[in-house]
Amino acid sequence: MYWLPRDQVRLLVNRLAESYAVYGPRRDEVSGEVVFDRLEYLERLDLQAAIPYNPPKHALLPQYEEILKYLYQKQSRKVTIEKISKVEPKALVGLRACDLNGILCLDRFFLGQEFVDEVYLEHRQKLFIISNTCVRPFPQCFCVCTDSGPAAGEGFDLDLTLAGQGYLVQVGSMKGQKLVEELGLREAGPEAQNLREKIVAESVSSFDNFALENKAWISRATNRLTTGFIKPEVWEYIGNQCFECGACSFVCPTCSCFNVEDVNRVDGPTDRVRTWDSCSFEGYTKMAGDHNPRKPVEDRRNKRFFCKLSYSQSKKYLRPGCVGCGRCARVCPGDIGLPNVVTYIRREITGE
Amino acid sequence: MEKQLVPIVTVPEVATVVDIREEIADVRTFYFTFDRPEIERAFRIRSGQFIMCTVFGAGEFAVSLPFSPENDRKHISVRKVGKVTAALHELQPGDKIGIRGPFGNGFPFEEIKGKNVIYVAGGIGLIPLRSSIVHVLQHRPDFGRMILVYGARSSRDLMYKDSIREWQATRDFETYFTIDRPEPGWNGQVGFVNQLVAGLNLPAENTVAFVCGPPVMFNAVIKELKLKGIKEQDIYSTLERHMKCGIGKCQHCAIGRTLVCVDGPVYTYRQIKTLGEQI
């Protein structure tokens, strides 16, 4: 473990900026929200800011991404297809453990199944990740219920834990080791590991006092969702609450459904683009000819929670599909964020 | 033997439409060859797989493959039903399309050798079954009884009339045809496919059935096949879903815990029953 004095964070970030586009939490001047986005001004990185409004998944899965470009000249019947590669190396600085776990879910889904997703792979290979331990939870958090925080366990290049006037720095990769050596960080000493464990333990024990908005009874809900023993009335109630806005999908660190469209440009060629999609939209499963196997809204809603918490889906992610960030609960206008859904399932079980 | 081509995953391979045939109203068959000779030589499929077909300037759609894995012209048969398929129907011989795939699991072939094989199709449900029918015919001695039950709304709605004529003349291939309402000059049965199935003397032991058609027909036929004693795990079908990627990533084709593009599109009826969603 190494020691990074607070006033040297700038040096670290400046060094990263030489080779990467730096992304991190910053406060948006207009809305006042903390957002996780590209930092045009590095000094606006705020490692103490609250959990960002959005997860970092747009760095790997942009909301709108051109993946191919083709030109078909109809007269000469000549086709040229070009794979677009605009992916730049990115450094994600100050990722919360929940968001890092979200990226690990995406990794296992896009890289670890039947096919490797070449587009995602290119983004992923060019990523540098610095995680940041939550030394205190935020009101919306329930990562301790989903085993995804408050501290990162794996998947980072470097991991920071605030301890007084500086950060304890854990190295997670060769890339991380190289950076630490280039910066000339000093060893944090023999007590560093114990100190970090103590800080994390204090953070966990403070959930009762600070994480006030959510509590989630995840394991029982997982059991129920997997075995299907949830009454249709529960889903109907949840379905009736749903506005079908898709916000939950868009702020979820692990939601990754996308649409593919061919967009004709005025200057001739066509772009094949990937865009974010959501299973809450009616058109998501609608086929040409108007057959829609998932028409009722509750039929579509339970699929999302099946995806987040069922055992079969967890096998793809090697962990639950929910990382306990609480963002869905924050954005949902119908009050059916994941913690509430788990509560409805719990009430059904306990008869409260 | 030629090396098996790995599926074309991301960038479509350009192919030329070499021939177009009118099948029934709004359904055309497009014969194609790949422009790159090495792809043309190495492209292999299993019956029951599908491809993603790009109509340049319009988009991409998933479509099942009706040709046999061996000695058969590559083609797709497509109903004009949406924006992209309508653009496909505008194409002329010589025009280009893009192909990704083949994707999906496909029908069993080696596993069903020695068994009786029953095909039941409704309307354009014959399209995905044609591949397996032709393939089994190419290896006829390896299989037991071979039966096709095919129904459509009218005689004009029967797909692959050339193939049908050929099959009717094939020894050891029992073929039955039905249309919904009587027509002058029609010599086959009249009524729904399930009614025709009900009246036939079908084997049940050592038998597999392949069923494809609209959901109403599908459910009615399954009922009859089960009454005949055919087991749920021996009844196969192929499902369709809105698909965008074909490689298990966009998740539009999720049914229950499975993705049709990688876990399907071929499912046994026993699997379909446990998916927990409408087909």
CATH of the domain at B127: 3.40.50.80
Share of chain B above pLDDT 90, in %: 92
Contact A114 B247 (CB under 8 A): yes
Q: Is residue B268 part of a domain?
A: no
Condensed to tens digits (0 to 9), the pLDDT of residues A77-98 reads 999 999 988 899 999 999 999 9
Shared-domain flag, residues B117 and B228? yes
* CA dist., res. B128 & res. B63, Å (int): 9
Residue A149 has which token pair? Answer: 């925080």
Interface of A with B in 91-110 (CB under 8 A): 109-110
Q: Is residue B232 part of a domain?
A: yes
Contact A256 B251 (CB under 8 A): yes
Shared-domain flag, residues B140 and B118? yes
Shared-domain flag, residues B183 and B234? yes
In this complex, the residue of A81, A287, A310 whose CB is nearest that of residue B257 is A310
Residue B148 has which token pair? Answer: 């096709």
Backbone angles phi, psi at A4, to 5 degrees: -120, 105
Q: What is the DSSP string of chain B?
A: -PPPPPPEEEEEEEEEEEEEEEEETTEEEEEEEESSHHHHHH----TT-EEEEEETTTEEEEEE--S-SSS---EEEEE--SHHHHHHHT--TT-EEEEEEEES----SGGGTTSEEEEEEEGGGHHHHHHHHHHHHHTGGGSS-EEEEEEESSGGG-S-HHHHHHHHTSTT-EEEEEESS--TT--SEES-HHHHHHHS----TTEEEEEES-HHHHHHHHHHHHHTT--GGGEEEE-----SSSSSSS-TTEETTEEHHHH-SEEEHHHHHHS-S--
pLDDT at A113: 84
pLDDT tier, B124 (very low <50, low <70, confident <90, very high otherwise)? very high
Q: Is residue B278 part of a domain?
A: no
Q: Which of B80, B95, B124, B251 to mutate to test the interface with A (most CBs of A within 10 A)?
A: B251
Shared-domain flag, residues B53 and B128? no
Last residue in a domain, options B44, B71, B103: B103
Shared-domain flag, residues B146 and B209? yes
Condensed to tens digits (0 to 9), the pLDDT of residues B166-216 reads 999 999 999 999 999 999 999 889 999 999 999 999 999 999 999 999 989
From first CA to last CA, the distance across chain A in angstroms is 48
In this complex, the residue of B241, B250, B257 whose CB is nearest that of residue A313 is B257
Shared-domain flag, residues B56 and B37? yes
Distance from CA of B94 to the nearest CA of A (A): 8
The three-state secondary structure class of A85 is: coil
Shared-domain flag, residues B16 and B69? yes
ipTM of the complex: 0.90
- Residue A63 touches chain B, beta carbons under 8 Å: no
Shared-domain flag, residues B97 and B117? no
In this model, does residue B141 exceed pLDDT 60? yes
Q: Is residue B243 part of a domain?
A: no
Contact B57 A262 (CB under 8 A): yes
- Residue A208 touches chain B, beta carbons under 8 Å: no
Contact A83 B244 (CB under 8 A): no
pLDDT tier, B219 (very low <50, low <70, confident <90, very high otherwise)? very high
List the single range of A205-214, A245-254, A262-271, B211-220 with lowest mean pLDDT: A205-214
Distance from CA of B56 to the nearest CA of A (A): 6
Sign of CA dihedral A242, A245, A246, A251: negative
Contact A294 B277 (CB under 8 A): yes
Number of cross-chain residue pairs from A and B with Cβ atoms under 8 Å apart: 108
The three-state secondary structure class of A332 is: coil
Q: Which residue of B has its CA nearest to A311?
A: B257
| Alpha carbons within 13 A on the beta-carbon side of B168 | 11
Shared-domain flag, residues B231 and B115? yes
Q: Is residue B260 part of a domain?
A: no
Q: Is residue B162 part of a domain?
A: yes
pLDDT at B2: 46
Instruction: Give the residue-averaged pLDDT of A228-239.
Output: 86
Condensed to tens digits (0 to 9), the pLDDT of residues A297-308 reads 777 777 888 889
The three-state secondary structure class of A282 is: helix
Shared-domain flag, residues B46 and B123? no
In this model, does residue B1 exceed pLDDT 60? no
From first CA to last CA, the distance across chain B in angstroms is 39
pLDDT at A293: 83
pLDDT at A346: 84
Shared-domain flag, residues B117 and B86? no
Last residue in a domain, options B103, B126, B149: B103
Q: What is the mean pLDDT of chain B?
A: 94
Q: Is residue B253 part of a domain?
A: no
Contact A277 B250 (CB under 8 A): yes
Shared-domain flag, residues B57 and B176? no
Last residue in a domain, options B59, B86, B103: B103
Pairing of strands B75-79, B27-34: antiparallel
pLDDT tier, B5 (very low <50, low <70, confident <90, very high otherwise)? low
**Cis previous bond, A150, omega within 30:** yes
CATH of the domain at B71: 2.40.30.10
Contact B249 A67 (CB under 8 A): no
In this complex, the residue of A120, A258, A287 whose CB is nearest that of residue B240 is A287
Structural domain harbouring B81: 8-103
- Residue A65 touches chain B, beta carbons under 8 Å: no
Q: Is residue B254 part of a domain?
A: no
Condensed to tens digits (0 to 9), the pLDDT of residues A151-206 reads 999 999 999 999 999 999 999 999 999 999 999 999 999 999 999 999 999 999 99
Instruction: Give the residue-averaged pLDDT of B90-119.
Output: 96
Give the number of domains in chain B: 2
pLDDT at B4: 55
Share of chain A above pLDDT 90, in %: 72
The owner of tokens 């439409």 is B17
The three-state secondary structure class of A159 is: strand
Backbone angles phi, psi at A14, to 5 degrees: -60, -40
Give chain B's length.
279
Residues of chain A neighbouring B272 (CB-CB closer than 8 A):
none
